[in-house]
Structure 1
């Protein structure tokens, strides 16, 4: 039998590696930005077209590369970051595997221009699908410019799996945020389809957060600082009253590298325990500095997961630090809410002896001296109580007389409460109660063949969904004016999303007066929407648009109707009166599609008499 094992060609091996390293355009953005940072750049520019599907270009003013290094950088496992295996445990750079550029070049058209400061001319390399098409000398400024065009051009199946431009751009912006937040000392700029998205000058950490998420973010931040032998923590957490339903503003950086850690996230949630509403998530922007030898970052292809030597200690320190900051800045409640400072013991009296209080008694005091009056009957009388004291309790009541006797004679006795007969007419029972609520979650209704079991939350979603869809289509929704306009603040990216769906929102009953870069003013809301729910609805809507729920095949109106119905539907655990239960059932079966919710989940199930009978066999 002939040999069947053979070495894979380099371009095939690179495409396989690209499957791990390059999942979407945002993966390319991450790798290129990190390479620019490792090159000690002070200014980095990101240019994107069609959400990265057509072009991703990163321009930096870093150290640049020689002609040999430029050619070698596209080879597999070629890196300048490590020399031996021991270097993996003392990394201070972003990349170290040497797979990024090789993987990217295997699935895209890549054009590289680079020049070192001491060189007069630079190098230009053009690669298509791992094949070097051209290499020549060019005039270019110091640093490196790398352009990745037509991503997945030779793997159509992977390209078909990409989401819409809206979703892919959101992932790119997320990666840009992670890199820009980790390095406030570097100036960043981002452009999409020729429009400026971000212009972030060199600044401190707090200012970088404000520049990304809007000016109003400044008042939401609480500083966190802790320096121990194990870990150094610095950064900010958001105040509890500004917590959001989404987890969009949660950032952990370990040695200036963004990571995801459910364990450390639980430490933050534990520190905020009792301060957040149900379903709300705290914001945090925290930098953790640890000894590189105590972590292993080589456990995941994207390097977003880290293994710590002693997670339990880090958990305890992080939780205590955040809790201390919340208490120090009067965010967390204290035990004594109305503490009287006069009751505190001064330091001067700390070592003094205790003095026994002296009780003084006036032996000549006579409480009856002023009230005694002279009279012919030689009897003792007292002063009349002033009105408003004891006699004030009896104002309006008649004194002795026949009235009280008459009232006493008309006292009625309560009769025993009448109970319904066990064999009461069945029609009367049906008139009294036709629906039942089970565990404040399900509504049970009687039908001829048996009974209906309705999920109140999903049923109400279907009702609201069809109502909102009709309002948007017919454009005749009722709006209620607000006495005081509602001021809401969002990040520039969230404002851009609201502008996209503004027209459809107005058709549902929302009225906008003024929209700025980081906020908006609402003067009217739909009749069925309480004012307190407006911010929750818009946050849910922004999240759904960013994640494109359910998918790109649905219209914006459908997406808006689904998002609003999800936010406003009655929740599980909410008690309903008899009239509300009946109204919900009637409205559900008046819908065009009552059997499923907007997300295609069943709204009710039926159980006939035969099924119930079989349960008792």
Structure 2
């Protein structure tokens, strides 16, 4: 029987190996930028076309390469970073495996143009699918220029599975931001289709964050700095009020290298416990400095997963550092001694005057004589009568006075209600009018023939607004409410690209948005039904949703936009509703096509039936 095991050709082996390193255009940007950082460059420019599918070009002013090095750099496992295995435990460079250029050259057309500062002439090397095409002298500036064209041209299956240009470019921006934040001492620029997206001059850590994510973040940054024998921690966390529901501004760096570390992320979120909502994510930009021998960066092909020698100690140091920063800037909440869940029932009208209590003593009363006149068998009746009288006064005051609404408060509303559905509500026996109650600033309660109906006020309003936005969009009769004072909003690069993609749909809902340049927009008009909602907050929520959902928002743009507008504009929990407002929500909810569920599928209405109520009181 013939042998069946054979060595693969170099071209096939290179493509297989490249699959671990080069997964999408953003991977090319990452590898080439890291090479430029290692070259000692002080300025790095990135140019892309078609989201990097057709062109990625990285230009730097680093040390450049000789003719021999330029050609050898595209060979697999050829590197200038290490010489022996022991060097793996003292790595401070971004690259060290000698795989980046070889992997790129295996799945694309690669052109290298480079010159060392002391050389009169540079060199141009062209490689296509791991095969050298040409090598010749070139007149070029000192440094290097790497040009990658037609990514995955020889691996059609890989190219087929690339996402839309918007999604792929978003990944490019993410990789660009990670390297730029890790190296604030280097100037970076990003150009897409001839348009400058980011221009980051060399600066300090805080300025680099501001240049990358916009001026608005500056007021929210809180510095942290801790030095220990295990690890040094420095950077910035954002104040609790800046926490968002979608990820995107969480960055860890170790020795100027971006890293993912879910366990360290838990240390930060643990420090923020009880300061932010359970579903919110704090923003942070944290740099670690540690002995390279205590850090293993060689456990993943992308070198983004890191292993610390003493992870428990680093975890404790990080959490303590974040807590110290929060405490130093008085961001830890004060202790609230109020009883949780207390029902605040307002007292009735104050009495006209104060009458001291009178005590009447019956000298003939004998506690052992069952026949004592004028008393109960326990010999004490006054306080019971007083309690009944007090509750009557309390209820009267409750109806006549204004209620103070806090957590756990109940609002009882009655009155004339046009358009009330007869079978839905019972009547208040005392007034013959429909009865509505508000509980805890969250729920609308209404007696119905089958029991007690409970409505989540915010979800109900979301359903009402969602269907209204969708009907308006489909009808094409959109009316924009012009802002008295247009709102200027500065975006980061990712948000700006997403907004450009969503602009036509936003206009269809009633937004009037103009591009002001430099990642800045001006909002002049909003949909009519958004009320007094902050336009910048609405756009920010929309972009956060788009960033977290990726390509899925492209499939249902109108539905996603309508839902986010409804969620931003709906009545908030904790707000006191008048009887008219509650009745309007109830009537409009049951006029909706799908009143039982919110736009994101959560229940809006539930009914507690009479049997369940009776069980609570152990009635047969």
TM-score normalised by structure 2 residue count: 0.72
CA offset digits 1:36-92 (Å, max 9, x no partner):
111111111111111101100111111111222211111111111122222212111
CA offset digits 1:255-300 (Å, max 9, x no partner):
0000111111111112222222343222111110011111111111
Shift of 1:117: 2.3
CA offset digits 1:441-471 (Å, max 9, x no partner):
9x9xx9xxxxxx9999999877655532332
Shift of 1:178: 0.6
* Partner secondary structure for residue 588 of structure 1: coil
C-alpha separation in 1, matches of 2:298 and 2:21: 13
In structure 1, the residue matched to 2:64 is 64
* Superposition CA RMSD, Å: 4.4
Contact 1:166-1:546 within 8 A present in 2 as well: no
C-alpha separation in 2, matches of 1:321 and 1:21: 35
Shift of 1:394: 4.9
Alpha carbons of 1:249 and 1:431: their partners in 2 closer, same or farther (altered >3 Å)? closer
- Structure 2 matches for 1:494-509, cutoff 5 A? 494-495=495-496, 497-498=498-499, 500-502=501-503, 504-509=505-510
C-alpha separation in 2, matches of 1:218 and 1:552: 30
C-alpha separation in 1, matches of 2:305 and 2:121: 40
C-alpha separation in 2, matches of 1:50 and 1:209: 27
Shift of 1:177: 0.6
In structure 2, the residue matched to 1:150 is 150
Contact 1:489-1:519 within 8 A present in 2 as well: yes
Contact 1:472-1:504 within 8 A present in 2 as well: no
C-alpha separation in 2, matches of 1:200 and 1:488: 19
* Partner secondary structure for residue 146 of structure 1: strand
In structure 2, the residue matched to 1:298 is 298
In structure 2, the residue matched to 1:584 is 589
Alpha carbons of 1:520 and 1:129: their partners in 2 closer, same or farther (altered >3 Å)? closer
Alignment gaps of 5+ in structure 1 = 338-391, 396-410, 415-426, 447-452, 606-617
Alignment gaps of 5+ in structure 2 = 338-350, 355-388, 393-420, 428-437, 449-453, 606-620
* Partner secondary structure for residue 592 of structure 2: helix
Using the TM superposition, name which of 19-28 and 545-554 deviates more: 545-554
* Partner secondary structure for residue 230 of structure 1: coil
In structure 2, the residue matched to 1:102 is 102
Using the TM superposition, name which of 572-581 and 95-104 deviates more: 572-581
C-alpha separation in 1, matches of 2:300 and 2:162: 22
C-alpha separation in 2, matches of 1:532 and 1:86: 60
C-alpha separation in 1, matches of 2:521 and 2:138: 49
- Structure 2 matches for 1:5-24, cutoff 5 A? 5-24=5-24
Contact 2:460-2:585 within 8 A present in 1 as well: no
CA offset digits 1:412-438 (Å, max 9, x no partner):
x99xxxxxxxxxxxx9987649xxx9x
Of structures 1 and 2, the larger Rg is shown by 1
Count the aligned residue pairs.
517
Contact 1:73-1:102 within 8 A present in 2 as well: yes
Contact 1:245-1:539 within 8 A present in 2 as well: no
Contact 2:43-2:186 within 8 A present in 1 as well: yes
- Structure 2 matches for 1:162-201, cutoff 5 A? 162-201=162-201
In structure 1, the residue matched to 2:541 is 540
- Structure 2 matches for 1:149-548, cutoff 5 A? 149-333=149-333, 394=353, 432=426, 464-478=465-479, 488-495=489-496, 497-498=498-499, 500-502=501-503, 504-511=505-512, 517=518, 522=523, 525-529=526-530, 531-532=532-533, 534-546=535-547
Shift of 1:7: 1.2
Shift of 1:16: 0.8
C-alpha separation in 2, matches of 1:90 and 1:133: 36
Contact 1:249-1:284 within 8 A present in 2 as well: yes
Corresponding position: 1:140 with 2:161? no
Contact 2:167-2:550 within 8 A present in 1 as well: no
Contact 2:467-2:592 within 8 A present in 1 as well: no
C-alpha separation in 1, matches of 2:204 and 2:18: 35
In structure 2, the residue matched to 1:38 is 38
Alpha carbons of 1:428 and 1:183: their partners in 2 closer, same or farther (altered >3 Å)? closer
C-alpha separation in 2, matches of 1:513 and 1:190: 23
In structure 1, the residue matched to 2:2 is 2
Alpha carbons of 1:482 and 1:120: their partners in 2 closer, same or farther (altered >3 Å)? closer
Contact 1:478-1:526 within 8 A present in 2 as well: yes
